[in-house]
Structure formats: C-alpha cells, structure tokens
Structure 1
Amino acid sequence: MPTVMYTPKDIFDQEFKTSMRGYDKKEVDEFLDDVIKDYEIFASTIEELRKENARLKEEAQKAPAASRPASPAASSSSSIAATTATNFDILKRISRLEKEVFGKQIIE
C-alpha cells in the first residue's frame, strides 16, 4: 500500500524559491492552505474508516453463524426459485386475462 509523502505540517512549512517572474506568493499560500485543509479532512476520514473497519471485523467474528447472511450460492438458488415462481405467476395471470378477453374464441 502506498505511503503518504507529506503531512499537513510539511505542506505548511514548505518554502519555495522566488524568482523575477515567479508565482504570486499570496495566491500560492492561499491555495496551499486549502490543500492543507483537504489533506487534514482526508486523514481524519481515513482514520475514522479504519476504526469502523476494525469494529465491523470484530462484530463479524463475534456474530453467531446463524445471524450471518447466507452464502452467495444459497441466496442465488433462492433467487432463482423466486424468479421461477414469479414467472409461473405471470403465466397464470396471462392465461386468465386471455380467457377473459378471448373467452368465447378460445372455447370454440
């Protein structure tokens, strides 16, 4: 995993050489201030997510097997059964509608 190269303090303390046709120092400082704010937000968000991830891993290990979600294979087979039942129900409904609409014609 890549490591972080700069801390917010490193960005804040960074000094650049000035030249005759250089950038406006005030504008660069304002931009770097915004970068530092974003960087601090990212760092705190990453830390919060790491803590939440660790907590969720602990909960998952402590949870009994019965309360865990079914395996993908089991859920896919129940999903196929549900789809099949749904398709069968749709065919029954279509059949009933056809009898209502074309009732006399089907019987003849």
Structure 2
Amino acid sequence: MAQVKYTQKDIYNRVFKEKRVGVGYDPNDVDGFLDDIISDYGVFTKRIEELQTQVGQLQTALKQTQEELSAKDHVREAQPVVPAPVVEEVPASAPVQTPTATPTNLDLIKRVANLERAVFGSENGAN
C-alpha cells in the first residue's frame, strides 16, 4: 500500500523556494509538492473506498447473523420446555418399583417414604 508523504502540519508549514529572478516561487518546487499531495489524496480515496466496502460486508454479515439468531429463537420458543428428569438415589434395601406411565398419588407417597427412610433412618418410618 502506498504511504502518505505529508501530514496536515507538513502542508501547513511548507515553505517554497523563491525564484532567483523576480518575485515568486519556483514552479517546479510547487508542482512537485502539489503532485505529492494529489498522490496522497489518491491513497486516502482508495483507503476510504476499501473501508466502505469492508463496512458494507460487515453490515451484511451482521444482518445475516441477527436473522439466523432470530430464527433460532423462534424455533426455541416453539419447542416445549421439557424439564430434566430427576435422578433419585434409592438405597439398595429399597423395593424396586417399575415406573408407570403416570405416577399415582400412592406411588408418590411410597417414594417420599423411601426417601425419608434413606435420609432419616428406619426409626422415623416407625413413628
């Protein structure tokens, strides 16, 4: 990539050589300086165009990503939330129950009783 030769301060502080004959500046010196400035403006213009292209690409990518996320959110909202299954630690001495499709109140009471026995001991179950 081409390098910029002059800063704004360089341009502002530039002093041209005076012509030996008469009043004024050396036309070759002024023309050379202006040619360099024109070249710098070309570099700036090219860089601005590159950055504008990059901004456009990034905006397009951002928009696509936002649309994808929005679509995933809609799919997630449409799916029912299924709670994670509860894993119980049942002592080896506890009776094995076969799971039914829908637990009844009696099944739930038995499970709670088994858990109480496992946590508090068998003397609690006798009370």
Q: TM-score range by the shorter chain?
A: 0.3 to 0.5
Q: TM-score, normalised by structure 1?
A: 0.40
Tell me the TM-score normalized by structure 2.
0.35
Larger radius of gyration: 2
Q: Please state which structure has a larger fraction of its residues in helix.
A: 1
Higher relative CO (Cα under 8 Å, sequence separation at least 6) belongs to 1
